[in-house]
């Protein structure tokens, strides 16, 4: 179901201003409010800015989240500017000494440290600058019972460049207890093991991470008062109406928190927060019959909306038929139509075999849903040098189409 304001704008924008990203900020804020409401108070919600770092998205989320997770010096500077004043957690592999220094200057709340070497670089920079830093050690923890099987993107629980191997955990923690990392304070553990896990599997992973952290703390006789169990809450592009069960997840996290008094839990979802608020609206330029199949070529393509190519799915979409049209109108024959972009590559497919029983014609509009996460910002914009899409941020469903592009 396309929200009325998005529908109106997708219909009324002149063709020359398509394709365009339409972001429903009211829906985003409401969705984030519900997520926050489903979580117990002792669970902090950080938004992973990598999913969609548009300044308007960050500002819309600012009073709905406890902080932001950033994964580069670029994201760090951008988020600090777009949504000032909120705690930032700086994660990601391969942090450069320059990024670490600027993060220390900006007073980043938590460093998610990825290796013993990175810890040494951070400690050295902190000593030089006189800054203090709170550290969560990111571990690549083993996960039993095939919990990560079938996840969209496993980043841990197997050989991977992410996080510290658990076999090094005791040595790294001993570095802290021996005082080797003077200005760094070890606050706890971080683990982001996979993307695309439903609530029961997320809870099982969270439970095992928190237990593992408690074991580490007990072995060393220290407190590890924070555990960040990562993001990766599932988003189902094949069934847009099916949402991650935040209520069950919140209740489950509450139980885990009750079992570990004194531990603050934190999560850092990206996709499941912002995916639903974004729409990519475009126009059919041409319809072709090829070897028995129908194709519609739309303005734009995967160089703007790379999500379906990156994840291998069909982007959910709706057709807005245009009755008025002043040129010849090639039309599909009533069967399924594959929607492709303008790039000279067979990979430029937005959605395969979309049923359009009434036929799809040149001039009709197509609105792709679930385009609010890992969409524009992961796309290869400059390939073929087509114009960039417009960007429209709808603050509430009452916004009128005359709201211009950014
Ligand atoms: C460390 C970390 N945290 C959070 C996320 C956000 O994941 P998602 O957008 O699937 O929730 C990612 C995504 O790759 C990540 O690497």
Span 107-150, pLDDT tens digits: 999 999 999 999 999 999 999 999 999 999 999 998 777 777 76
Closest ligand 1 atom to 373 CA = 9
**Token output for 198:** 């439903």
| Beta carbons of 246 and 34 less than 8 angstroms apart | yes
Query: Could you tell me if the CB of 35 is within 6 A of ligand 1?
Result: no
- Residue of minimum CA distance from atom 4 in ligand 1: 231
Residues 338 and 253 in one domain: no
**Does a structural domain hold residue 70?**
yes
Going from the Cα of 399 to the center of ligand 1, the distance in angstroms, rounded, reads 32
Mutation choice for ligand 1 from 195, 201, 237, 375, CB with most ligand atoms inside 8 A? 195
Going from the Cα of 236 to the center of ligand 1, the distance in angstroms, rounded, reads 16
| Number of domains present in the structure of the chain | 2
Residues 222 and 354 in one domain: no
Residues 148 and 231 in one domain: yes
Helices and strands per DSSP (H, E), number in the chain = 11, 18
**Does a structural domain hold residue 395?**
no
Residues 244 and 369 in one domain: no
State how far the Cα of 239 lies from the Cα of 391, in Å rounded to an integer.
26
**Does a structural domain hold residue 328?**
yes
Residue 352's pLDDT is 98
Residues 219 and 348 in one domain: no
Residues 256 and 154 in one domain: yes
| Beta carbons of 142 and 166 less than 8 angstroms apart | yes
Residues 133 and 225 in one domain: yes
Find residue 185's DSSP bridge partners: 134
Q: Which residues of the chain have pLDDT under 70?
A: 150-153, 396-406
Going from the Cα of 322 to the center of ligand 1, the distance in angstroms, rounded, reads 39
Residue 150's pLDDT is 67
| Beta carbons of 135 and 95 less than 8 angstroms apart | no
pTM for the predicted model, two decimal places: 0.95
Query: Could you tell me if the CB of 269 is within 6 A of ligand 1?
Result: yes
**Of 237, 269, 301, which one is at a domain's C-terminal end?**
269
Residues 136 and 255 in one domain: yes
Residue 143's pLDDT is 79
| Beta carbons of 104 and 133 less than 8 angstroms apart | yes
Query: Could you tell me if the CB of 51 is within 6 A of ligand 1?
Result: yes
Mutation choice for ligand 1 from 231, 246, 311, CB with most ligand atoms inside 8 A? 231
Residues 317 and 374 in one domain: yes
Specify the DSSP element, H or E, that contains 180.
none
Residues 234 and 326 in one domain: no
Would you please indicate which residues are annotated as catalytic (active-site) residues? Answer: 344
Residue 42 CB partners (closer than 8 Å, separation 6+):
254, 257, 264, 265
Mutation choice for ligand 1 from 57, 69, 230, CB with most ligand atoms inside 8 A? 230
Closest ligand 1 atom to 155 CA = 16
- Residue of minimum CA distance from atom 16 in ligand 1: 192
For β-strands 349-354 and 337-340, DSSP reports them as antiparallel
User: Which residues form the domain of 369?
Assistant: 4-22+278-378
Q: For 233-248, how does the pLDDT look when each residue is reduced to its tens digit (9 = 90+)?
A: 999 999 999 999 999 9
Residues 190 and 72 in one domain: yes
* CATH number of the domain enclosing 52: 3.20.20.10
Going from the Cα of 341 to the center of ligand 1, the distance in angstroms, rounded, reads 28
């Amino acid at each position: 179901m396309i929200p009325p304001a998005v529908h109106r704008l997708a219909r009324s924008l002149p063709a020359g201003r398509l394709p365009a990203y339409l972001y429903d900020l009211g829906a985003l804020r409401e969705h984030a409010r519900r997520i926050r409401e489903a979580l117990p108070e002792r669970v902090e919600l950080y938004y992973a800015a990598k999913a969609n770092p548009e300044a308007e998205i960050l500002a819309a989320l600012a009073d709905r989240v406890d902080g932001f997770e950033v994964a580069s010096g670029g994201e760090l500077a951008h988020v600090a500017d777009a949504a000032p004043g909120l705690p930032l957690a700086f994660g990601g592999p391969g942090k450069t000494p320059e990024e670490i220094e600027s993060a220390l200057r900006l007073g980043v709340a938590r460093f998610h440290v990825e290796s013993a070497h990175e810890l040494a670089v951070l400690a050295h920079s902190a000593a030089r600058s006189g800054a203090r830093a709170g550290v969560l050690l990111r571990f690549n923890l083993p996960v039993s019972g095939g919990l990560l099987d079938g996840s969209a993107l496993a980043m841990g629980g197997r050989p991977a460049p992410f996080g510290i191997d658990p076999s090094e955990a005791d040595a790294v923690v001993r570095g802290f207890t021996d005082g080797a990392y003077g200005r760094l304070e070890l606050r706890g553990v971080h683990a982001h093991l996979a993307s695309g896990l439903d609530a029961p599997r997320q809870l099982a992973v969270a439970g095992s991470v928190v237990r593992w952290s408690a074991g580490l703390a007990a072995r060393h006789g220290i407190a590890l008062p924070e555990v960040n169990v990562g993001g990766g809450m599932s988003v189902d592009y094949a069934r847009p109406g099916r949402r991650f069960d935040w209520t069950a997840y919140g209740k489950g996290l509450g139980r885990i928190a009750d079992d570990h008094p004194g531990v603050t839990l934190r999560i850092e979802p990206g996709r499941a927060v912002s995916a639903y608020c974004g729409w990519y609206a475009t126009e059919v330029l041409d319809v072709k019959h090829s070897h028995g199949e129908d194709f519609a070529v739309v303005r734009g393509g995967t160089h703007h909306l790379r999500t379906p190519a990156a994840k291998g799915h069909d982007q959910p979409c709706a057709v807005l038929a245009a009755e008025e049209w002043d040129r010849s109108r090639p039309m599909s024959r009533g069967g399924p139509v594959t929607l492709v972009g303008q790039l000279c590559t067979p990979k430029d497919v937005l959605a395969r075999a979309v049923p359009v029983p009434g036929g799809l014609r040149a001039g009709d509009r197509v609105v792709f849903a679930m385009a609010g996460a890992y969409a524009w910002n992961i796309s290869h914009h400059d390939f073929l040098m087509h114009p960039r899409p417009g960007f429209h941020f709808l603050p509430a469903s009452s916004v009128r189409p005359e709201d211009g592009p950014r």
